Amino acid sequence: MAGNTPLIRIRSLSQALGVDILGKAEFLNPGGSVKDRVAMKMIDDAEFANLLKPGTNSRIFEGTVGSTGISIATLAAARYDPITI
Q: Residue 7: which residues within 8 A CB-CB, separation 6 or more?
A: 22, 23, 24, 25
Catalytic residue ranges: 35
Across-strand partners of 60? 83
DSSP string, 60-78: EE---SSHHHHHHHHHHHH
